[in-house]
């Protein structure tokens, strides 16, 4: 199995630990641990290893799904990974056959630009056709998805709201994609890690019908990335397969993560209200900064904006490297999303840090 290097994560690994300000973070500022009870008792495995049944039942209610239609994972990254292997990954784990009949000829349709893992992992498991969103509006054309579907298509992959563009595809578009998946005996997998930052969130894809799969976590919308706690919700056959693949990855979710996750989900209304207020404030600050400097973006939902590279810089990497070297601020080059004329900015961090980071970026723009 060969997989492309994860360019964005390697960029972060090289630069973020030495930089003063992380202005490429794609989530909301982190909540303090002392907000929660952090004593889970004895440090054993989570039993059963797919997550506490009461917690899975609570998550499942939010998707109109049952307890056995949810598996708890180490973040949304593992949830997506397990979903891809369950639907596309050749032979199913021993003792289980999935309804989607995965195999080496399996095909996926992936809407891009998106988080690299959402196309790189399917690329290793079968054939992938990418359906590009085009600037400046990044609007998704369902007809393009329909045209990309093949007889071997087992999965359509969407990230909504989209990372990096912040485009929130409307319910009508999502339902059309769901119908395309259902009509072709495939699944629609939607990575929904930013969904709850929207003022009026769409229904999750897993609640639309049996061909819908949703992945999410407490990292982006909740500000609890350090928990490494996420989930996959959807069709029982896929979830069962994911549990069997999970025996070869993390076995069970982390005990600390699950312990705090239970509390955070119980407190979700308050946490999400706080985070939406922060995002609204920071969104306005960032929009005013970009307008002042003549930079453009599609007005985003969530905490990511995909911004045009300033004049005088060859591409996103050149601009982001200059900001790093001169002002010790990390931005994300658009090259990692297939658009070298752009860079991604994250505005979910504490407001004072955001303002300091923007001021430093402004110095580079003023000197350019």
* Spatial contact of 111 and 133, defined as CB atoms under 8 Å apart: yes
Whose CA is closest to 265, among 206, 213, 207, 224? 224
- For CA atoms 175, 179, 182, 187, the dihedral sign is negative
pLDDT at 129: 98
Spatial CB neighbours of 116, under 8 Å, sequence gap ≥ 6: 4, 6, 7, 8, 336, 337
* Spatial contact of 86 and 242, defined as CB atoms under 8 Å apart: yes
First to last CA, the chain: 44
* Spatial contact of 60 and 70, defined as CB atoms under 8 Å apart: yes
Cα 236-201-196 angle, rounded to 5 deg: 80
Report DSSP state, residue 163.
Answer: T
Whose CA is closest to 339, among 158, 132, 130, 156? 132
pLDDT at 97: 47
pLDDT digits (tens, 9 = 90+) for 11-34: 888 877 889 999 998 999 999 999
pLDDT at 144: 98
pLDDT digits (tens, 9 = 90+) for 57-114: 999 999 999 999 999 999 999 999 999 999 998 654 444 444 444 445 899 999 999 9
CA gap 368, 354 in Å, rounded: 21
Judged against a pLDDT cut of 80, whether residue 191 lies above it is answered with: yes
CA gap 284, 189 in Å, rounded: 31
pLDDT at 98: 44
Helix (H, G, I), strand (E, B) or coil at 228: coil
* Spatial contact of 156 and 108, defined as CB atoms under 8 Å apart: yes
pLDDT at 100: 44
Average pLDDT of the chain to the nearest whole number: 94
Helix (H, G, I), strand (E, B) or coil at 188: strand
- Between β-strands 153-159 and 187-191, what pairing exists: parallel, antiparallel or unpaired? parallel
Helix (H, G, I), strand (E, B) or coil at 319: helix
pLDDT digits (tens, 9 = 90+) for 263-310: 999 999 999 999 999 999 999 999 999 999 999 999 999 999 999 999
Q: Which residues on adjacent β-strands are paired with residue 284?
A: none
């Amino acid at each position: 199995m060969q997989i492309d290097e994860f360019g964005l994560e390697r960029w972060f690994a090289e630069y973020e630990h030495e930089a003063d300000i992380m202005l490429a973070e794609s989530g909301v500022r982190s909540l303090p641990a002392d907000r929660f009870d952090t004593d889970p008792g004895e440090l054993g495995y989570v039993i059963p290893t797919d997550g506490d049944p009461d917690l899975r039942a609570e998550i499942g209610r939010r998707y109109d799904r049952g307890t056995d239609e949810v598996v708890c994972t180490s973040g949304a990254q593992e949830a997506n990974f397990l979903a891809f292997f369950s639907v596309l990954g050749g032979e199913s784990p021993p003792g289980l056959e999935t309804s989607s009949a995965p195999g080496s000829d399996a095909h996926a349709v992936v809407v891009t630009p998106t988080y690299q893992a959402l196309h790189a992992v399917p690329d290793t498991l079968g054939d992938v056709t990418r359906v590009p969103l085009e600037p400046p509006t990044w609007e998704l054309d369902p007809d393009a998805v329909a045209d990309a579907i093949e007889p071997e298509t087992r999965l359509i992959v969407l990230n909504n709201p989209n990372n990096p563009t912040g485009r929130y595809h409307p319910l009508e578009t999502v339902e059309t994609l769901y119908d395309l998946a259902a009509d072709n005996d495939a699944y629609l997998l939607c990575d929904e890690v930013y969904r709850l930052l929207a003022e009026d969130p769409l229904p999750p894809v897993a609640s639309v019908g049996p061909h819908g799969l949703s992945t999410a976590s407490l990292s982006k919308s909740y500000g609890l990335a350090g928990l490494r706690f996420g989930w996959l919700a959807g069709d029982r056959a896929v979830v069962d397969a994911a549990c069997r693949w999970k025996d070869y990855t993390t076995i069970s979710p982390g005990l600390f993560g699950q312990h705090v996750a239970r509390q955070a989900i119980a407190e979700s209304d308050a946490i999400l209200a706080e985070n939406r207020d922060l995002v609204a404030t920071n969104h306005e600050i960032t929009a005013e900064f970009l307008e002042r400097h003549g930079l453009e973006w599609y007005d985003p939902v969530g905490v990511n904006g995909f911004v045009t590279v300033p004049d005088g810089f060859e591409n996103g990497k050149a601009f982001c490297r200059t900001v790093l070297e001169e002002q010790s601020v990390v931005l994300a080059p658009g090259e990692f999303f297939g658009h070298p004329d752009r860079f991604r900015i994250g505005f979910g961090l504490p407001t004072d840090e955001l303002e300091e980071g923007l001021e430093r970026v402004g110095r580079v723009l003023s000197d350019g």
